[in-house]
Structure 1
Amino acid sequence: MKIQPRGLLFSLVLIPLVLLVACSSSPKNDYDLNYDFSSLKSFSQLEPSKNSDPLSANRIQQAIANSLTRQGFAAQAENGDFTVAYGFKVENKPKDSGFTIGLGTGSWGSSGGASIGTSVDVPVGSDTAKIQTIQIDIIDPKTNQLIWRGTDKFNFDDGGEAKAEETKATVAKILAQFPPKRER
């Protein structure tokens, strides 16, 4: 039986791509199906509640303001068309084992072949990472009712610049789904 290099190569490219897409996080949201989001032009933010991580709280609050402003909403200290609140939590999660499977093909002259290899990465230091979940709520200030909620999460090992950038990116991904796009 002769292995077709093209079919094998296609499989070798397709399998990692499917695994990458399956492992990536995507924001989740829910909203009031009867609410008219088209009238929203300005927003106000609720004061964050006291928490044990003011650095993350300030980063999230600033990222919300930046994302909504880039989307064309005007920030107001009070009396916006909608009010934004947020919450976040940090949890420990076990680090990945680092077990990987490698696949390869090659040819030499008129011969071809395929190989499979494995490797195991042993984590050095802490065996847990942290995962931060961010929830953003959009509230109608006239009725004080929740009209939209979005959540997403990201992994991090340490704080600092990398965590700050990941916070901005996560908030932007969440708010990219607001206002909801209704299917016609």
Structure 2
Amino acid sequence: MMQRKRPSYLCSLLMIPLFLLVACSSTPKNDYDLNYDFSRLKSFSQLAPSENSDPLSASRIQQAIASSLTSQGFTPQAKEADFSVAYGFKVEDKPKDSGFSIGLGTGTWGSSGGASIGTSVDVPVGSNTAKIQTIQIDIIDPKTNQLIWRGTDKFNFDDGGEAKAEETKATVAKILAQFPPKTEK
């Protein structure tokens, strides 16, 4: 039996969604005190959040921080913890992507082939803006009250509810996956 060979462009088309997913995801950013010994940190406490107009997001972030740090092996401790955690967040409007795009396609049919060029215009349906939530997490030395590590990341959302709660949890986990920093001494 003769085996049909899959066209090479088909594999390329299947890879496009993967590349788009990777391109759309953000990478958390962090900065830290280069001279701090992070290896001695074992327990944490959370500082009270500042007043804000979104207590649902504040609560979700606080729970996600505790969950992420606990899963990394740190112990929550109300008094005399090795480090304190503070956080902040903001929500901004972001114009939805819309505009003009051009596509190029090729294909074969039987013994002939061809190419085509197409255009499209995206028209946003509903609101023409999306929301971006930026989360910043600060790690503070409680003895000196000095910032020793800071991480930030953001995510897009249209509606709240379960999808936003899950994205908040995932974003906090991505930020704290970079803590403590991998330093070579």
Q: CA RMSD in A?
A: 2.3
Pair 137,19 (structure 1): closer, same or farther in 2 beyond 3 Å: same
> Once the 2 structures are TM-superposed, how far is the Cα of residue 99 of structure 1 from its aligned partner?
4.5
The reply on whether 1:96 has 2:101 as its aligned counterpart is: no
> In the alignment, residue 156 of structure 1 is paired with which amino acid?
F
Q: How does 1:109-120 map to 2 (within 5 A)?
A: 109-120=110-121
Q: When the two structures are superposed, what TM-score results if normalisation uses the length of structure 2?
A: 0.86
- Partner-residue secondary structure (3-state), 1:65: helix
Q: Map Cα deviations across residues 119-160 of structure 1 (whole Å, 9 max, x no partner).
A: 222112211111000000000111110000000000111111
- 1:73 maps to a residue whose letter is F
Aligned residue pairs total 179
Counting only pairs closer than 5 Å after superposition, residues 29-178 of structure 1 correspond to structure 2 as: 29-97=30-98, 99-178=100-179
In 2: Cα distance, 1:159 partner to 1:135 partner: 19
Deviation at 1:14, TM superposition (A): 7.3
Q: TM-score, normalised by structure 1?
A: 0.87
Q: Deviations over 1:48-97 (max 9, x none)?
A: 11110000000000000000000000011222110000000001111110
Report what 1:27 is aligned to: 28
Gaps of 5+ in 1: none
Identity of aligned residues (%): 86
In 1: Cα distance, 2:16 partner to 2:57 partner: 36
Q: Is the CA contact (8 Å cut-off) linking 1:42 and 1:81 kept in structure 2? A: yes
Q: Cα distance 1:99–1:161, how it changes in 2: closer, same or farther (>3 A)?
A: farther
